[in-house]
Amino acid sequence: MKGALIGCGFFARNQLHAWAEVPGAEIVALCDRDPARLDETARAFGISRTYADADEMLVREDLDFVDIATTVDSHRPLVELAARSGVHVICQKPIAPTMADARAMVAAVAESGKVMMVHENFRWQSPIRRAVEAVRAGAIGTPFFGRISFRSGYDVFSGQPYLAEGERFIIEDLGIHILDISRALFGDVTRLTATTRRVNPRIRGEDVATMLLSHDSGVTSVVDCSYATRRSPETFPETLLEIDGTEGTLRLDAGYRLTIQRGDDAQVEDVAPPLLPWAERPWHNIQESVRTIQRHFADCIAAGTEPETSGADNLKTFALVEAAYLSASEGRSVALDEI
């Protein structure tokens, strides 16, 4: 399959490295409005065909898919352009600025008969994947409680300064990943309650969020996120898990240590992700998941199946983000039916 990457910013290099390791897929063209960034990326990855305009690129190039790695406000026009052009699409998260935009995007691609997947990569991290598979296989019986936690003081703003500028921050940028992990583990959500706080005075949005989720399955989960937590050793970018089931417990602790305990029997497993040749610590956990999710996208297109993090599925995760902001702003519990 021949693809094009739209957007050559901070995270896009991970996607380009990963595409080079996806069998049966190749990025043959790049698009970015910043000529210096476009040229630098093209030279670094040996891609000769470059464009400043996505519409022109889709007219001139014979493509099977586009990988949209731009900021959120551009997602809808680019996804709808891809749909009109008859190509498959993978789009960065958050899917859109609003639920109305997100629904329109998913509908446009569905009407074109093509595949849409959202680059929701945290559930594809190998330590998280191992935990999800264990829970789904009944390793601890039927789950009834879970805590999914991401707490850090890591300076994410130096590499992505725009994160400090938006009125929304941690739920939209990071919490969406952690909420999606909760959905992957326990299924869809009926009700959500959230509180938020801004600790860092140099940013506009919230940098702490705590969310209580009631799932259709009967599980209660707590999703907590913080970029204001000072501790040593720093655990960025690890997501920690604590899950209770009718037959035992599962914990994913710092240092990628997975413990599954049933009665007095505790099985401990090192689930540290591999350090890929192009990756670097501490980002290697996320970088490996990029390769995994892009392989999943290519495999689904080849098999004619729907991706696990399809556009339609991601509407449910994005609804949790919207419910969290509504809950925090109005100080109440929000039923997902409202969203």
- The torsion angles phi and psi of 117, rounded to 5 degrees, stand at -130, 140
pLDDT grade for 162, boundaries at 50, 70 and 90 = confident
Task: Give the CB-side neighbour count of residue 34, counting CA atoms within 13 A.
Answer: 9
Q: Which of 253, 259, 208 is nearest to 235 (CA)?
A: 253
Are 246 and 149 in a shared domain? yes
C-beta neighbour count of 118 within 10 angstroms: 31
Q: How far apart are CA 197 and CA 18, in angstroms?
A: 35
How much is the pLDDT for 61?
A: 98
Last residue of a domain, one of 78, 94, 114: 114
Q: How far apart are CA 76 and CA 288, in angstroms?
A: 27
Are 218 and 110 in a shared domain? no
Decide if 89 contacts 109 (C-beta within 8 A): yes
Structural domains in the chain (count):
2
pLDDT, tens digit, for every residue of 31-46?
999 999 999 999 999 9
Are 251 and 138 in a shared domain? yes
How much is the pLDDT for 160?
A: 85
Range of the domain at 160: 123-280+310-338
Decide if 215 contacts 190 (C-beta within 8 A): yes
Q: pTM higher than 0.85 for the full model?
A: yes
CATH number at residue 317: 3.30.360.10
How much is the pLDDT for 159?
A: 84
292 occurs within a structural domain: no
CATH number at residue 78: 3.40.50.720
